[in-house]
Amino acid sequence: MGVPAARIVFDESDRTAVAEAVAEILATGAMTLGPWTERFEQAFAAEHGASHAVAVSSGTSALEIVLRTVGVRDRDVVVPAVTFYATAGAVLHAGGRPVIADVDPATLALSPETLAAALTPDTAAVVLVHIGGLITPAVDELRALCNGHGVPLIEDAAHAHGSSLGGRAAGSFGLAGAFSFYPTKVTTSGEGGMILTESPDLRDEARIYRDQGKGSFSTNHHVLPGYSWRISELNAAVGAVHLRRLKEFIETRRAVARRYDEALAGLDGLEPVVEPVGCRSNYYKYVVLLPRGVDRADFKRIAAEEHGVRLSGEVYDLPLHLQPVLSPYRRGPLPAAEDVCARQICLPVHSDMTVDETEQVVDAVSAVLRRLA
C-alpha cells in the first residue's frame, strides 16, 4: 500500500457528531454567526490559553483583518521570504507594502538579524510565520525588536494549531495570531480561520470587519470597510468537532516525527529542520533539506513510483521575493531563503499514521538517497 502525501482524518464518531450538528443547524435555520461559531471560538481560545477568538472565513482573511485593525495602508509590513503567498497577499489587500526578509535556515523563520535589516522608518507591522508548526526560540527577541520600533508583532500561525514554546501556545506571542482551517491542517473546519488576541478592542473590531463592517449583526449600519469574512455555522460545527481531537492528533504526529529523527540521524546528507529547544511542535510538516546537487523532482518521482511514498508539497519551493506577482517588492537576493526553498522536501505526517507507514517512508527515503546522493 502507498503512503499518501496527506490524509484528512475524520473517524466514525467524528462523522456522527458532525452529522448531528448539521441536522441541528438545518433544523434551527441559524446558518451563520450562531451558537456553533461561538462554541468553536471558545474552544479554540481555551485550547491556546487566549482570552479572545474570532472565527472567520479563512486564515488569509484572519491575517488581513488583523492588519486592517493595525492600519497598514500605504505603509511597510515585514514578512519572511519562506511562507505561502497569502502572508504577503493579506498585506497587499489590507493596503500595505510587503517588505520581504530573509530567514534563519535552522527555523525557517525571521531572525533578529534579518528582521533588523528589513525594518524601515515606515514599518507598520511585522508578521512572524510558524512554518510547519515550529516556533522560533528567538520570538521574544523579535518581539522586543518590534517593541523598540513601536510596531506590533503579528503571528501567521496557519500551521501551528496546538504548537507551543516554553509552555506558551502559538498565537500568544504577539498582538494577535491568525490560524487557518484549510482541509490539510492538523484540525480543519473544511474552510475557515481564527484570530486569537488578548485585546478586546481588536476582537470587537475584527467582528465588525468580518460581517461587512456592520456595527451589529442585526443592523445595516456599516461603520468599517468590511467584507463577507464570516464562517458558516456548518464549517464552525466541523471545526468544533475536529478540535476535540487536537491533542490526540499532535501526539500521533510527534511519534512519527521522533521516528524520523532517529532514522535521519543515521543518514549522511539529509538535514532535518529540527524542533528548537523549548518548542513543542504539532508537526504539521516534517521538513528535510536534501543534499545540494540532488534533483528534488527525481527524488520525489522515485519515492512515489518505486516505493509508493508521495512526499507532500514543499513549504515552499519558491520564496516570496521570487513569486512573479510580488516582483515589484523584490529588493535583491535572499540567500538563506533561496537555498532552503530549493532543497527542502516534506515527509508524510498523518494524524492517524501507522508504524508500518512510517517505516515505509524511512525505507523509501533511505533508498532514494543512496541512489541519488
pLDDT at 105: 97
Domain for residue 6, yes or no? Answer: no
- The CATH number covering residue 264 comes to 3.90.1150.10
pLDDT at 216: 85
Q: Which of 171, 365, 356 is nearest to 268 (CA)?
A: 365
> Residue 98: what residue type?
P
Three-class DSSP category at 327? helix
DSSP 50: -
Q: If you search the block for the grid coordinates 433544523, which residue do you land on? A: 27
pLDDT at 16: 98
Is the domain of 208 the same as that of 320? no
Domain for residue 56, yes or no? Answer: yes
Domain for residue 3, yes or no? Answer: no
Is the domain of 280 the same as that of 320? yes
The last residue of one of the domains, among 243, 267, 284, is 243
pLDDT at 113: 98
pLDDT at 260: 97
Give the separation between CA 13 and CA 159, rounded to whole angstroms: 25
Domain for residue 170, yes or no? Answer: yes
Domain for residue 213, yes or no? Answer: yes
Long-range contact pairs involving 113-122 (C-beta distance under 8 Å, separation at least 24): 114/80, 114/336, 115/78, 115/142, 115/145, 115/146, 116/145, 118/78, 119/78, 119/145, 119/149, 119/151, 120/76, 122/75, 122/76
Domain for residue 1, yes or no? Answer: no
Q: Domain limits at 16?
A: 12-243
Is the domain of 152 the same as that of 191? yes
The last residue of one of the domains, among 221, 243, 265, is 243
Is the domain of 132 the same as that of 185? yes
Is the domain of 158 the same as that of 276? no
Is the domain of 179 the same as that of 199? yes
pLDDT at 354: 97
The last residue of one of the domains, among 243, 278, 308, is 243
pLDDT at 373: 82
Is the domain of 312 the same as that of 183? no
Is the domain of 186 the same as that of 296? no
Per-residue exposure over 19-48, b if at least 16 CB sit within 10 Å of its own CB, e if not: eebeeebeeeeeebbbebbebbbebbbebb
- The CATH number covering residue 65 comes to 3.40.640.10
Is the domain of 216 the same as that of 111? yes
Pairing of strands 153-156, 271-272: unpaired
Residue 292 backbone phi and psi in degrees, to 5: -60, 135
Contact assessment for residue 165 and residue 139, using Cβ atoms and an 8 Å cutoff = yes
Is the domain of 312 the same as that of 346? yes
Is the domain of 218 the same as that of 261? no
Domain for residue 80, yes or no? Answer: yes
Low-confidence residues in the chain, pLDDT < 50: none
Contact assessment for residue 286 and residue 260, using Cβ atoms and an 8 Å cutoff = yes
Is the domain of 189 the same as that of 320? no
Q: Which of 104, 94, 97 is nearest to 67 (CA)?
A: 94
Beta strands in 286-337 (DSSP E): 286-289
Domain for residue 26, yes or no? Answer: yes
Domain count, the chain: 2
